[in-house]
Structure 1
Amino acid sequence: MDMYRTADDRWIVLVLVFVNEDQQVPLFLKAISHPEAAENPRYADTPSRRARAAEIVTLLDRTFATRSLAEWREVLDAAGLTYGVVQTLKKCAQDPQFLANRVFVPIDDGSDDPHLTVDSPVRLDQEQKVRPGPPPTWANTPSPCSATSASTPPESRSCARPKQSAEAATRQRDGRRETPS
């Protein structure tokens, strides 16, 4: 299985499983507009192609970079070749199978159009899974430390994260907003 970048910066995954490799590789090479490679005696049989695998990968890298994903889909589909497409993160977040399996779940932030996050794979017996929520409030507050150089070691910085009582931290972690009386 090999991946090749297309002209529009997408990726195609080739799964070339040839039942009769010596007959099918030339058909593949012709389909991707390289009949000269199909006729090259250096690529005539399986042992020759394996010995020159790096050359072939370079040829395929250059070839797939010449057309968009849509164009390559047409070519590969017309030739009846097996391939896959590496999805973008946005497409993954809209994938019906990922959503049905709760790979991506909404952040419980009260918005009309909630953001998605990757669901935690951790499950504990006899514990109800907590829905993802917004980050703690201190993470949303600009810090005077933000202007500090990243190369300054934390122990040398003149500012620190606001301190919370243990009780306040527990309330925040558990999603409770009430204050103690």
Structure 2
Amino acid sequence: MGKPLEGIKVVEVAMWAFVPVAGGMLSDLGADVIKVEPPTGDPIRGLQIGGTEGGKRQLDYSWESYNRGKRSITLDLKQEAGRAVLMKLLEDADVFITNLLPPARRSMGIDADTLRAAFPKLIYASGSASGPNGPEGEKGGYDAITFWARGGVSSSVTEDGAERPVGPPGPAFGDSLSGSMLAGAVSAAIAKRAMTGEASEVDVSLLGTAMWSMQRFIAQATDNDILKFPRPADMKPYNVLVHNYATSDGRFVALCMLQADKYWARFCEVAGRPDLAADPRYASASARRENLDACFTDVKALFASKTLAEWKAILKQQDGQWDVVQHVGEMKDDVQVQANHYLQRVNYGDGTEVPLVSVPMLFDRQALPTRRSPGLGADSDAVLEGLGYSEDEIIDLKVQGVVF
């Protein structure tokens, strides 16, 4: 099966996670992504978070996840000779992606106006903190502050009266969502250019993506002039069949049966409590809301009386929507994860494998295979040779400290 972006060349001048996530996704979709790194490498290479048990192999899981399948060339873009190599790279490129701040781009001559004037067919894609326009258009940011905090996500999941706001659930949470959005914008720009011949400049921001993810609350708060929606510690559900319930063995089951009256009687029956369905206090959705305290107490006690395994067997007997609140370490055993190849094991090159989450897009019901991330400058010589540089010229660039 061919990949949808085969034949597309992407040049990436970016670091950390946001825009590299987009490059990694484009790579998995089939594009040839050439990552241009400074002599010291993308700083995320040194952001070690965990490793294999026993220390037999230390992995930069962030690096491996966000830079899958790319080719790496090291260039000192502060030198004119380094920028000259970059210009040759861009001669037949389709897309340029970056998250360098605008002043740095202008100083290197890789800002949108300069590159689009030199290469009219080049799609220029940038990842920004809070959008390219406005008084803070040139200000930087990170997902933990710009996406999670400024974007209204943190305050919306933090209980009222908490000592501190809830933090992101894992590394690069907002970066991963924003990078995926940027990859989508680039793909749309590729389609637009194919149909109209017009190349676009596109930008996706951490703030804008956070707002997109929170759009329902933001729209309502704006329309009704509400500062925030309350989130009490003992929040009760409006519908008792839409809630996360604790089981007797300390796990949780998530219910999302929005059409409560459609599912209530059958749920009570399979749960061994037909008396709850027969109780006139709980006979309808409106009745259950009128007697919410009692109904919620009864349903909580019901779930607390059985283990997760028991509830899984019970809930499979009815048509209502539910699922288990899973831990990340359980994902590898999820039957749907396995069937759809959402988690792949990638050859690491030393006889071992690296588990990587695949791009969540299936084409013709097939998952797209992914590849490992490159070593620093691993492809410098090959990329330069492909641009027509001779062996002596490559050695000279290395002597000058342009290529490492």
> TM-score, length-normalised on structure 2?
0.26
Structure with bigger strand share is 2
Under a length normalisation based on structure 1, what TM-score does the superposition of the two structures give? 0.49
